[in-house]
Amino acid sequence: MSELAIRNGIVFDPLNGIEGEKLDIYIKDGKIVKNVGASATVIDASGMMVMPGGVDIHSHIAGSKVNAGRILRPEDHEKDVETRTSLTRAGTGKSIPSTFTTGYRYARMGYTTVFEPATPLMKTRHTHEELDDTPIVDKGCFPLFGNDWRTLEYLAQGRVEECAAYVSWMLRATKGYAIKVVNPGGVEAWRWGRYITGLKDHVPNFDITPKEIVRGICKVNQLLKLPHTIHVHTNDLAKIGNYETTIATMDSVRDLAHDNKPIIHITHVQFTGRSGSAWHNIGSGAPEIGDYVNKHDHVTVDLGQVVFMDTTTMTADGGFQYMLYQLSGNKWMNFDVEVETGAGVVPYKYRRNNYVNAIQWGIGLELALLVKDPWRVYLTTDHPNGGTFTKYPKIIAWLMSKKAREKSVGRINKTAQKKLDLPGIDREYSFPEIVIITRAGTAKALGLRQKGHLGIGADADVSIYNLDPTKIDPSKDYRLVRKALKRAAFTIKDGRIVVKNGEIVEAPLGRTYWVDSKVSESLMKDVESEMRKTFDDYYTVQMDNYAMDDNELANPSRITVKAEV
Amino acid sequence: MRMTKEVIPNVICTFCGATCDDLQVTVENGKVQSSRSGCAISLAKLMEYNRDRHLTPLMKKNGELHEASYQQAVSRAAEILANAKYPILYGWSSTSCEATKVGIELTEWVGGVIDNTTTVCHGPTLLGVHDIGEVSCTFGEVRQRADLIVYWGSNPIHSHPHHMQRLAIRKGRFRGGRKDRKIVVVDVRKTDTAKLADHFLQITPNGDYDLLCAFRMAVRGDELEQDVIAGVPADKIEEIADLMVSCEFGILFFGVGLTMTSGKHRNIDVALSLVRDLNARTKFLIMPMRGWYNVAGANQVTAWVTGFPYAVDLSQGYPRYNPGDTTVIDILSRGDSDAALVVASDPVSNFPVEATRRLAQIPIVTIDPRPSATGLISEVVFPSAIVGIETGGSIYRMDGVALKTKPVVPPPPGIRPDVEILRDILREVKKLKGGQTLE
Amino acid sequence: MLSLRVTLLSGRSLSQARAKVSGKLSDKYARSVAICELDPDDMKSLGISPDQKIKVSTSTGSVVVRAVASSQAPHRGVAFIPYGPWANMVLSSETQGTGMPTFKGVEAEVTPAPNEEVLDLPHLVAEMTRRT
């Protein structure tokens, strides 16, 4: 099984300039190669689309808050079960699938890499234990820094280099991939039950503002040369009109950018893309945000698209979750984490005829359609916050077909229909653009050079869909697009066929990527001895028991970089 | 093996849910010589864990337990479980997460029910959480910020001896220690914990639901029309309610006094609701006092693999959860189970007598480091290595923080970790089941 | 015969926990859990002294244990037997559909039992597990 030939497929590999050409793809020993021998297994992909395996840049699939959600909602799982087979484990869905089910469902959809975007430093061991029980897909996680006492203190003192060494230690200790920032400073306020607003408010007891945190962490990221940019969930999630905060956050680091490269990623922009002053007059801030993104190439974004369904919201932004509990009256989990961060979980149902939900739905789609460069906008639902990841094909259909959008627009709250610009937008995404926003662009943003494309030497993660792009018009036949993308004809992971006709045929364990950014020994030594004191003063766990050993991950893949400090 | 004398620092204690990780254990010649920094229970465990160990597996022959080879025991155990129609796989709270993971897979293969000690402890807490949610935190938030600490139906001096000194009494960033905190204890007896409190409310047994409702009312500013509620004067309730709404950061630790008395999950419902209501006035959190060092871990692993935290029926090939139906006490009471695997637990000592009687009527496979009453009536007994002393593994503190235990001494020769024994049994079961599925 | 109506609790005690880690089949363990802690004033009204044998009865059954004067009094009308097989002899397996038995707050009667024996663990287990 080490040689595979995918013949006659219509290949999409936008990173390498291939946008729907009939080409053969050859695989050997888990990599894309120039050619293979005659004894290679052949997949006849005639009339099918061939593309790199999906790379999800932001999906809450593992860790403390995700599991808190599972425990909170037995009713979520009862209606959606997976029966075990000789190859696959039993499990449950629906909005917070169990770990094995998560891996299988991503693979069935043709996804091969997924990142858990928010994990408390202290609880990242838990996140990895869940990821190690998530089969097939490669994965990684983003530990949270934006409300961590040491980070706030270093940055307040202007000690960016020490902060970088500290973050380097933490990424090694937690086997993390990138720096995540959620409501910088705001979650520390929430740990007192308080809120801050905007970027210039002072964090209680710390001499720093959110703007200073974002700028400082951005500099740290650059010093550490991490493969991904800082990944930011902005302040003011609870504020009604919050798009201005999003733009201000993007703008706060503009001067730090160079080489036209992105240096900040704003996640689930839909949630912080609202205009208005009260719930009854909220509107879409997508035009303004889209405009800013179009004019500034230091920013990338992902959608956090809403789908009308009963789902579960979960975020490190605990204060927001309290507010959502108050608004909805639904049950509410909250887990503050000492020194570092918080979390909250609240079930939520998005309804078409709810004015606010309809606007939220429109914001995500507008943003995708208004941002011109598909390499800087990515498809997510912030699973499960906006909806489950299994709904991606539905969203793709909306993006590719104005007709599909019109049908849905016709069913939403009438006032929202009038308020949104969405009905008037004609743009329809092409197949290459869809491939970019679901794999090529996300892999690039993550700095995963061997993913998201089918060039020689790339990981042989390939998805093949039963859809002939030369014969169908996605604008009209969006239902066929949706259907085909739900169940891959073949999903190939590291050169092994793992899915055939939407069924799991093999379930190997994927890798866990983490980044080891090496700073100078003397700097690291100084910072480590400072850290010892903070462990004694702040924590309830010994420093020696905190860090994960390298052998704690079942299948680690370390990415080493040399930091600038 | 460590032959010379060595002090191993920062050893994680594996007894109660507080999982203190600052033990200093002195070992020599592969044996524990002494331990510092832990509580009396931790010291007792470390000094006496090696008594009366079986050094080989045991199997029942003609009604009596005899020594058997490991392979014989594995085969017999696999046979018992594979041939059962509705086996129960129980325990899990005093072993590693790695072991529980295998246990779940084994349950899938034998088509049984996996349940853990939550079922006789904080099961009602989880039932309450399903309805209300939970507003909680990790330990350090209490240490750093709390100025009001309430212990309700919990006697940590006896159950979690170092809990108070690590959290309530210790100095934090915003609190200078005991003097900056108020401690309130609610209990039916004036416990040793109550003796350390600033306020002690002696409640009549089974009065928790009423008293919690009274607190909810008082916190919302409603008038209490009775003079005495559950044995506590209304004035006192109002005084404590005032403390609650005017504190900066309060926490309610509750024990099985709430889960085990009448009302059960309804008691928890009100406690969770009270704390949630308090968040409209101030920062207030709640935390169940989990008894075992890895019962929280058993819940976490079971939930991420199946979707549900305990009492999971896998007999249909998919996870089914219905406490009251899929919980082991009820399964035993109905006489529905025909075999049991007991891992690191002693249900014959811990279950009410009728459930134990039923358990005694079915073949039991026990995996336990130490002899137990359950072992006495088992068909097969595997001695196993002790997590945190002789073997490592992942555990979850009662506040959900995952820690990795490591061995400090080797186990006696031939004694394997639970996870290894379970994997061997699973391998045999798979052979017996011949790769069958339910299709 | 003197008897006392109480509310019975079972639960953890420091000595029970320490004895249990020492060994579940040991005398130390049996001595730490085959007991019932009573309020000293309740003991007076029953006419018994510490360490004397008493019978605790509930609707489930009865068990003979040794009386101990509680150090966590006052709690008149409340009796405490540490977790373990002796306590479980008198506790019901009825969970009222919740999965959880009632380990605390159970109506019980305490009577002096000078002529009865406190069973050791093997005999207690035999008693518990006999087929009815």
Which pTM does this prediction carry? Answer: 0.97
Per-residue HEC secondary structure of A447-484 comes to CCCCCCCCCCCCECCEEEECCCCCCCCCCCCHHHHHHH
Q: Which one of B24, B127, B138 would you mutate to disrupt binding with A, by most A Cβ within 10 Å of its Cβ?
A: B138
For residues A85 and A506, is the Cβ–Cβ distance under 8 A? no
- C near A: at least 3 beta-carbon pairs less than 8 Å apart: no
Contact C129 B360 (CB under 8 A): yes
Residue with tokens 């550490």: A224
Taking every pair of C-alpha atoms in chain C, what is the biggest distance, in angstroms? 40
Share of chain A above pLDDT 90, in %: 98
Q: Among candidates A527, B160, A343, A238, which has minimal Cα distance to A332?
A: A343
B42: its two tokens: 């931790």
B27: its two tokens: 């070992």
For residues B17 and B296, is the Cβ–Cβ distance under 8 A? yes
Among B188, B259, B373, whose Cβ lies nearest the Cβ of C121?
B373
For residues A348 and A308, is the Cβ–Cβ distance under 8 A? no
Contact B349 C85 (CB under 8 A): yes
Provide the pLDDT confidence category of residue A411 given band limits of 50, 70 and 90.
very high
Name residues 101-140 of chain B within 8 A of A (Cβ): 101, 105, 108, 126, 129-140
For residues B76 and B59, is the Cβ–Cβ distance under 8 A? yes
B430 touches chain A (CB under 8 A): no
Q: Is the pLDDT of residue B311 over 90?
A: yes
A132: burial class by Cβ within 10 Å (0-12, 13-18, 19+)? buried
Mean pLDDT over residues B80-89, rounded? 98
Residue A344: strand, helix, or coil: strand
Give me the amino acid identity at A278.
A
pLDDT of residue A462: 98
Q: How far is CA A413 from the centre of its chain?
A: 29
C102-114 pLDDT per residue, tens? 999 999 999 999 9
Mean pLDDT over residues A62-74, rounded? 98
B150-172 pLDDT per residue, tens? 999 999 999 999 999 999 889 99
Q: Is the pLDDT of residue B439 over 50?
A: no
A219-242 pLDDT per residue, tens? 999 999 999 999 999 999 999 999
Residue with tokens 């997590």: B387
Contact A91 B129 (CB under 8 A): no
Among B131, B167, B320, whose Cβ lies nearest the Cβ of A331?
B131
Provide the pLDDT confidence category of residue B437 given band limits of 50, 70 and 90.
very low
B3 vs B56, residue with greater confidence: B56
pLDDT of residue C16: 86
Residue A337 DSSP one-character state: B
For residues B187 and B203, is the Cβ–Cβ distance under 8 A? yes
Chain B residues in contact with C78 (beta carbon < 8 A):
188-189, 205
Task: Give Cβ neighbours of residue B337 (< 8 Å, ≥ 6 apart).
Answer: B84, B86, B87, B88, B112, B113, B328, B331, B358, B362
Give me the amino acid identity at B121.
C
- At how many degrees (to 10) do helices B265-278 and B123-132 cross? 50
pLDDT of residue A44: 98
Q: Is the pLDDT of residue A347 over 70?
A: yes
What mean pLDDT value characterizes chain C? 92
Smallest CA–CA distance, residue B205 to chain C, in Å, is: 6
C22 vs A274, residue with greater confidence: A274
Give the CATH number for residue C88.
Answer: 2.40.40.20
Paired strand residues for A449: none
Q: Is the pLDDT of residue B438 over 70?
A: no
Task: Give Cβ neighbours of residue A143 (< 8 Å, ≥ 6 apart).
Answer: A119, A120, A121, A124, A170, A171, A174, A176, A179, A180
Give me the amino acid identity at A395.
I
Q: Is the pLDDT of residue C131 over 80?
A: no
B104-114 pLDDT per residue, tens? 999 999 999 99
Mean pLDDT over residues B418-439, rounded? 85
Mean pLDDT over residues B302-308, rounded? 98
Chain B residues in contact with A73 (beta carbon < 8 A):
130
Mean pLDDT over residues A257-268, rounded? 95
Task: Return the C-alpha torsion angle C19, C20, C25, C26, nearest 10.
Answer: -10
Task: Give Cβ neighbours of residue B259 (< 8 Å, ≥ 6 apart).
Answer: B121, B122, B123, B124, B125, B265, B267, B268, C100
Q: How far is CA B224 from the centre of its chain?
A: 36
Mean pLDDT over residues B294-302, rounded? 98
CA distance B172 to B287: 19
Smallest CA–CA distance, residue A109 to chain B, in Å, is: 21
A161-172 pLDDT per residue, tens? 999 999 999 999
B19: its two tokens: 């999982």
Provide the pLDDT confidence category of residue B436 given band limits of 50, 70 and 90.
low
Paired strand residues for A4: A27, A41
Long-range contacts of B34-41 (CB under 8 A, 24+ apart): B35/B11, B38/B13, B38/B162, B39/B13, B39/B161, B39/B162, B40/B161, B40/C14, B40/C18, B41/B15, B41/B16, B41/B161, B41/C14, B41/C17, B41/C18, B41/C21
For residue A334, what is the enclosing H or E element?
Answer: strand A332-336
Q: Is the pLDDT of residue B179 over 80?
A: yes
What mean pLDDT value characterizes chain A? 97
Chain B residues in contact with A328 (beta carbon < 8 A):
none
Mean pLDDT over residues C27-51, rounded? 93
A327: its two tokens: 């608004």
A521: burial class by Cβ within 10 Å (0-12, 13-18, 19+)? exposed
Chain C residues in contact with B346 (beta carbon < 8 A):
24
Per-residue HEC secondary structure of C3-70 comes to CEEEEEEEECCHHHHHHHHHCCCCHHHHHHHCEEEECHHHHHHHCCCCCCEEEEECCCCEEEEEEEEC
Chain B residues in contact with A129 (beta carbon < 8 A):
97, 301, 304, 394, 402
Residue A395: strand, helix, or coil: helix
B188: its two tokens: 């039916």
CA distance A22 to A473: 18
Chain B residues in contact with C26 (beta carbon < 8 A):
51-52
Give partners of C (≥3 CB pairs < 8 A): B
Residue with tokens 């993006």: A399
Name residues 89-128 of chain C within 8 A of B (Cβ): 89-105, 121-122, 125, 128
Total structural domains within chain C: 1
Task: Give Cβ neighbours of residue A90 (< 8 Å, ≥ 6 apart).
Answer: A81, A82, A83, A84, A100, B108, B306, B314, B317, B318, B319
Mean pLDDT over residues A403-431, rounded? 97
pLDDT of residue C132: 59
Smallest CA–CA distance, residue C6 to chain B, in Å, is: 10
Q: Among candidates B262, B206, B203, which has minimal Cα distance to B236?
A: B203
Pairing of strands B340-343, A377-378: unpaired
C71-83 pLDDT per residue, tens? 998 899 999 999 9
Q: Is the dihedral of CA B50, B51, B56, B59 positive or negative?
A: negative
CA distance A526 to A538: 19
Find the domain containing C54 and state its range: 4-128
A398-408 pLDDT per residue, tens? 999 999 999 99
A197-208 pLDDT per residue, tens? 999 999 999 999
CA distance A163 to A152: 9
Contact C98 B333 (CB under 8 A): no
Mean pLDDT over residues C92-118, rounded? 95
Q: Is the pLDDT of residue A472 over 90?
A: yes
